[in-house]
Amino acid sequence: MNSIFEDAQKRLVEVFKHIELTDDVREKLKHPKLSLCVSIPLRMDNGRLKVFTGYRVQFDDTRGPTKGGIRYHPDVSLDEVTSLSFWMTIKCAVMNLPFGGAKGGVSVNPKELSRLELERLSRGYIREIADIIGPKRDIPAPDVYTNATVMGWMADEYAQIKRQQLPGVITGKPVHLNGSLGRDTATGRGALHVLQQWVERNDLRADKMTLAVQGFGNAGYHFSRLAHAAGFKVMAVSDSQGAIFSEEGLDPQKVMNHKEKHKDLRTMLYCDGSVCDLQRYKKLTGHELLGLDVDVLVLAALENQVDKDNVDHIKARHILEIANGPVTSEADVLLEKRGVTVLPDVLANAGGVTVSYFEWVQNIAGFYWDANKVNSRLEKTMVREAKSVFDLSHDKKISLRTAAYLQGVKRIAGAITQQGTHEYFQNE
């Protein structure tokens, strides 16, 4: 199996053709600053002891404390977490946030745990990584199969360890536990702002564009709901169990209402229902959804969903990456040759980390904003950086992904260079 991190690093090859960099920058972007692997002993409800493996990787902190989510998934590995921390480093720089990149995770299927087991696991993970996180060092947030409730447990555990209230250690917390209004919708909302800017720039019309959305978790659901409200026609959505399709279009809110209605009532954390429970719509496989003839294919699930083996199956004219790394580097090249526009993850899904930054600022200041201010500042930031990436792509005649990476790498390189490089010290 190919390394996800090695594939992620291939993105830089094209970027380096368009910028003069000192070898110091190239070298720093090859290696994470810190990689931690921990064992988390968990006493199960039946009394049995089970040990789970957790990770936290801090890739680069040149521009500020590291920032990045924590995911719970059976496939979590050091390779995956390292790749995600690299992407976070680029993403924070693309958005010009004063952060570096990090990521964490636990190899677990959280749906197999009870509420109490999930809380004990979350607190246990924080106990194992507490020495390397903090409001001015490394700030976790939610990711795949973690949410505000989990973040609240983690922030509370950190406070107990440090014997003081430090809400800025974690973002994405519940609102009544010093979270920010607007954080739950931020990733989907930010992705929509990027898509709308692209539509406007290319003289397209939202009400004439069709979408298919892979992934109906937090980000995919909120994006779909907001896109539907903005006039886009959502033709299909999928979750881990399959997909549904309608020629007339779907109402994402009604789909979610149905999914939640049929979830397992024993859990408050995960929706165990499926979009496939909706009998009135045509059912598709996940593979069939990827091949739908729509204007925009929205990838909001996991990494490596479009690769060299299925890229020829893609019929969409545009791809919007809400997940991290859903298109491999090999597929990227083939899509570009076919003229398929890819709105890249390091720009398109940056709404989440942007509002996480807003939450961190509010926590540090002890002064909280209303939802309108959060959403307004998110829109301003997303529009500004999207336009900058689009202009860079046009001026240099490069792909949007290369332009986004170039924007981020320039900012990272500036920070590294101003600390002193090989050239600086040789010319003493």
CA distance 235 to 240: 18
Model confidence band, residue 175 (pLDDT cutoffs 50, 70, 90): very high
Average pLDDT on 69-81 reads 96
Model confidence band, residue 266 (pLDDT cutoffs 50, 70, 90): very low
Model confidence band, residue 102 (pLDDT cutoffs 50, 70, 90): very high
Average pLDDT on 272-284 reads 63
Among residues 101, 100, 118, 99, which one has the least CA distance to residue 109? 118
384 sits in which H/E element? helix 371-396
pTM: 0.90
Range(s) of the chain covered by CATH 3.40.50.10860:
32-169
Across the chain, what does the average pLDDT equal?
91
Domain 186-348 is in which class?
alpha beta
**Phi and psi torsions of 71, nearest 5°:** -115, 145
CA distance 268 to 103: 25
Model confidence band, residue 268 (pLDDT cutoffs 50, 70, 90): very low
Catalytic residues: 103
Average pLDDT on 237-253 reads 88
Strand, coil or helix: what is 49? strand
Judged on CB neighbours under 10 Å (0-12, 13-18, 19+), 22 is middle
**Phi and psi torsions of 51, nearest 5°:** -110, 125
Give the total residue count for the chain: 428
What pLDDT was estimated at residue 1?
54
Q: Is the pLDDT of residue 184 over 70?
A: yes
What pLDDT was estimated at residue 423?
76
Among residues 416, 419, 396, 415, which one has the least CA distance to residue 406? 396
Q: What percent of the chain has pLDDT over 90?
A: 76
Query: Within 13 A of 329's CA, how many CA atoms are on the CB side?
Result: 15
Q: Is the pLDDT of residue 33 over 60?
A: yes
Question: Pick the residue with more confidence: 83 or 427?
Answer: 83
Q: Is the pLDDT of residue 270 over 60?
A: no
Range(s) of the chain covered by CATH 3.40.50.720:
186-348
User: Which range is least confidently modeled, 121-125, 218-222, 280-284?
Assistant: 280-284
Beta bridge partners of 319: 297, 342
What pLDDT was estimated at residue 265?
25
Q: Is the dihedral of CA 21, 24, 30, 33 positive or negative?
A: negative
Model confidence band, residue 275 (pLDDT cutoffs 50, 70, 90): low
What pLDDT was estimated at residue 365?
96
**Second CATH level (architecture) for the domain 32-169:** 3-Layer(aba) Sandwich (3.40)
375 sits in which H/E element? helix 371-396
Question: Pick the residue with more confidence: 369 or 240?
Answer: 369
What pLDDT was estimated at residue 428?
61
CA distance 92 to 426: 31
- Side by side, the strands of the sheet bearing 66-73 are 34-43, 49-60, 100-107, 66-73, 138-142
